[in-house]
Amino acid sequence: MSDMHLTSQIEDGLNEIPLLDIHTHLDATHLAARGLYDILLYHMLISDLVSAGCPSRERLPESPSQEEANARVEEAIPYLPYIQNTSSFWGVRLILRDLYGWSEPITASNWRTLDQRIRERSSDQNWPRQIFKRAGIRRAGTELWRRHDGEYDDLLQYALEWAFFTRTQWSAPDVNTDGSMQENDISLYELERAWNQSEPGAPLPVTMGGVRPPLPRTIQTIDDVKAAIAHYVSCIPYGRILSTAQHLSTDIHFHAVSDEEMAEALIRRAEATLDERDVYASYILEAFLTELEKHANEIVYQFSFGAEPLPFETAAKLRQDTLFEVAAIIARHPRLRFQVFLSSQHANQTLCTLARELPNLSLAGYWWHNFFPTIIRKVMSERLDTVATNKQVGFFSDAYCADWTYAKSVIVRKQLAEVLAQKVRQGQYTTDQALSIARQILFNSPQTLLGMQPR
């Protein structure tokens, strides 16, 4: 059998295996793309466009006006010829061809015709279900606040993304006296923001630009910290969510912090340096995990790793020391289940070794700066060689509309077909074994690790 035929045969088999998409940002009020902008200006594409010279760097608002959306699309069109090579634009082509029957280049003279076609489809409430069916996706996980009236509960399950206690933020210029470019008390602000809310809401954006809405109640003392954490944990809607999704910044030095050290650091909040930042984040994280472990059978602690803030988006970054700091954290909470989304290719081998030694750690998918075909294949191959299938999940899209879940499902299946074909060729698997392994990581593991329920 030729190499090409073997790969094609395995890809055909993969297309018959249903997917569970464990992590997205799909919104029940607009599951499918509302217009061309939802496809073309997905944040991964904005980064491509910026690299080609497009001047606008910000993500579009959650619900942009039609005028703003149109202006941003028109601004992007002259730069499209320069990003035809990227795998993200491959995703655009897959969406437009397979879902909307469009194969022409997008130009200033035709984009409105395409946009209207997408808008017409989005008005059909059954269209998202058709996209899921074409993608072979049986269920997707998204943020709880995006559930709204629950109209798409048959397609969606939920995770809590509320406060990010260990995610750094890029600061406004000249904010810090120590010259650092991060908001050094952001962990406290995230916690006290949740303390001021009676129930979970939407999280802060990835980049706030140094702008913070004022809060009526702020953290002043160690007792305030403890009260705020107790409030947060008590507000988690156990039974309605599968997990809490967090981010662990590699810029933070995670270490043991006493009550006394935290109390002293709180006094210095107005002049907080990187040292105080590390104290705040380490203390809050440990206190949070200690409380969360009491609910170990009800929730999974998912965390992303390896992407750190820049003024508009993030870049791949992960210190080797952070991996072992986090390993120590996971080991201290053996009853709590942890699952990692990795965005730094070089750290995958270390995470594989940690997943082999830490029974409560599992690995999932290809996040953000890892979602490129060459990296996906490398990560897949390493994990299949080293980690049990019931400790890894083979797919999540991180998509903001169902159209992008479709594109990413196609891209991932194609990479997995290449990886599995290579292992069959060298005699490591038979074709049947390869497809059985694929089913385990694409469909079975999301059920056993997270409790996803396909319908």
Total Cβ atoms within 10 A of residue 28: 17
Q: Are residues 106 and 175 in the same domain?
A: no
Number of domains in the chain: 2
Q: Are residues 212 and 305 in the same domain?
A: yes
Both tokens of 54, joined, read 């497009």
- What pLDDT does residue 181 have? 58
Residue range(s) defining the domain that contains residue 355: 133-450
Chain segment 227-253, per-residue pLDDT in tens: 999 999 999 999 999 999 999 999 999
DSSP 105: P
Which residues in the chain show pLDDT less than 70?
A: 1, 171-181, 209-210
- What pLDDT does residue 170 have? 81
Q: Are residues 51 and 170 in the same domain?
A: no
Q: Are residues 257 and 307 in the same domain?
A: yes
In a domain, 336, yes or no: yes
In a domain, 24, yes or no: no
The mean pLDDT of the chain is 95
Q: Are residues 185 and 325 in the same domain?
A: yes
- What pLDDT does residue 172 have? 55
Q: Residue 99: which CATH number?
A: 1.10.2020.10
Both tokens of 57, joined, read 């760097």
What residues are paired with 393 via a beta bridge?
A: 364
Alpha-carbon distance 211 to 221, whole Å? 24
Q: Got the DSSP string for 81-101?
A: GGGTTSHHHHHHHHHHHHHH-
Q: Are residues 256 and 337 in the same domain?
A: yes
In a domain, 366, yes or no: yes
Q: Are residues 123 and 141 in the same domain?
A: no
Alpha-carbon distance 251 to 205, whole Å? 18
Q: How far is CA 326 from the centre of its chain?
A: 18
Alpha-carbon distance 136 to 401, whole Å? 15
Both tokens of 278, joined, read 């590390």
Type of residue found at 124: D
- What pLDDT does residue 253 have? 97
Q: Are residues 181 and 72 in the same domain?
A: no
Q: Are residues 109 and 45 in the same domain?
A: yes
- Inter-axis angle of helices 43-51 and 87-100, nearest 10: 130
In a domain, 26, yes or no: no
Q: Give the domain-ending residue among 112, 127, 142.
A: 127
Q: Are residues 114 and 144 in the same domain?
A: no
Q: Are residues 113 and 145 in the same domain?
A: no
- What pLDDT does residue 176 have? 53
111: nearest Cα among 80, 69, 73 = 73
Q: Give the domain-ending residue among 82, 108, 127.
A: 127
In a domain, 87, yes or no: yes
Strands 243-247 and 300-305: what pairing? parallel
Q: What is the pTM of this model?
A: 0.95
Q: Are residues 337 and 245 in the same domain?
A: yes
Both tokens of 436, joined, read 């059985």
Total Cβ atoms within 10 A of residue 374: 10
In a domain, 17, yes or no: no
Q: Give the domain-ending residue among 71, 101, 127.
A: 127
Q: Residue 329: which CATH number?
A: 3.20.20.140
Chain segment 44-98, per-residue pLDDT in tens: 999 999 999 999 999 999 999 999 999 999 999 999 999 999 999 999 999 999 9
**Cα radius of gyration rounded to whole Å, the chain:** 22
